Amino acid sequence: MAASHRIRRSTLGGIGLHLALCAAGAARAQSVGFDPADYGRAQLPLRQTTGDAAAYVDRNKGAFEPIAELDPKDGLAALARPIGRIDIVLRNARSGQMVGASCTGALLPGDYVLTNHHCLPQSGDLSPVKASILMDYLTLDGQGSRRFEIDPRPVEFDARLDYALARVSGNPAAIYGTARLSGEAVPGNRSMLVIHHPLGRPKVMSRFRCFALKDPGEGPDLRHRCDTLGGSSGSLMFDASVAGVALHKEGGLDPKDPSSFNSATRLSTILGRSRILAEIAARQGGPAAATAAADPAPRPAVPTAAQAPAPTPDGPLDPGRMNAILRGR
């Protein structure tokens, strides 16, 4: 399944809310719109579509593997636990109109959620009014899922690197655990895994032909061939070390063009920019040291040392087992 902007236009051509969220510099950002009247519901009807988007996803189960079908004791099920769907209601400063958007995010130690900046934008015409993360959304009926409120004003963000770090209430990490972060370099052809909520649908993973390009690009951006759709924005990309090494942000993959790719931001660059995330990665035992790309923008404000996150209580999954899973696709 490709995630090109052209395919999303033909399949989801009526999602004007999605397009409204995409600034000129991020025209292929992969948030997905919904009617703000549906905020708080598990199942988000795509009222603005011109076709049956749900059927489109269902027809491509070979690319998107439902997390619900995994044994709860499976290592991949455990890896997916801290990943949830982020729902946002935004206000258009010019028109006053409210719009809804859905992305993906990951729970981190210290009551934080990591997602894309374009999901919780802090510049431009749209500003988030309220946000939440829906955890354990595995089936369309939403059975067993729980929602936790997110502060729509991130404590850290960077529009160029397209990341936002926000506070979440209710201590969901005590229930679902937290994701691991790593500043490890991602070489070309590296096998990867993405866990996400495409189109706001129940949680799935992409691992079929999911890898970094042979030429993964230079600087902050990572080119990859993992299948995604609108709603996948903010997904952590995992490698065989079962740690997040990149943050997916936009589409561009075309099934007819083998040179096309989707885009993510390397965690190594984000960790070099973010004191909070670097501290989290260091406490988790991963390589947090990274050299930030040159950036003339001022560093965002961060909490004081007294507010530094505590180490995650969850130990890492066995890397050998995950490596075997990835190589055995």
| Dihedral, CA of residue 242, residue 245, residue 248 and residue 254, to nearest 10 | -90
> How much of the chain is helix, strand and coil, in % rounded to 5?
20, 25, 50
Residue 104 within any structural domain of the chain: yes
Give the pLDDT band of residue 288 (cuts 50, 70, 90).
very low
Domain that holds residue 105: 1-39+60-294+317-329
Residue 224 within any structural domain of the chain: yes
Residue 111 within any structural domain of the chain: yes
Residue that has been written with the tokens 């004191």 in this structure:
275
Residue 310 within any structural domain of the chain: no
95-154, pLDDT tens digit by residue? 999 999 999 999 999 999 999 999 999 988 999 999 999 999 999 999 999 999 999 999
Residue 305 within any structural domain of the chain: no
**Pairwise CA distance, residues 50 & 19, whole Å:** 15
Strand, helix or coil for residue 79: helix
Pairing outcome for strands 193-196 and 236-238: antiparallel
Give the pLDDT band of residue 225 (cuts 50, 70, 90).
confident
Higher pLDDT, residue 191 or 148: 148
**Residue 226 belongs to domain with CATH number:** 2.40.10.120
State which of 41-45, 81-85, 96-100, 285-289 shows the largest mean pLDDT. 81-85
CB atoms within 10 A of CB 302: 16
Q: Is the pLDDT of residue 84 over 60?
A: yes
Outline where 28-99 has alpha helix (H).
53-58, 75-80
251-265, pLDDT tens digit by residue? 777 767 777 778 899
Residue 46 within any structural domain of the chain: no
Residue 53 within any structural domain of the chain: no
Residue 75 within any structural domain of the chain: yes
Q: Which amino acid, residue 301?
A: A
Q: What is the mean pLDDT of residues 17-41?
A: 60
Q: What angle do CA 205, 221, 79 make, to 5 degrees?
A: 25
Concatenating the DSSP letter of every residue in 254-281 gives BTTBTT--EEEEEHHHHHHH-HHHHHHH
Tally of structural domains, the chain: 1
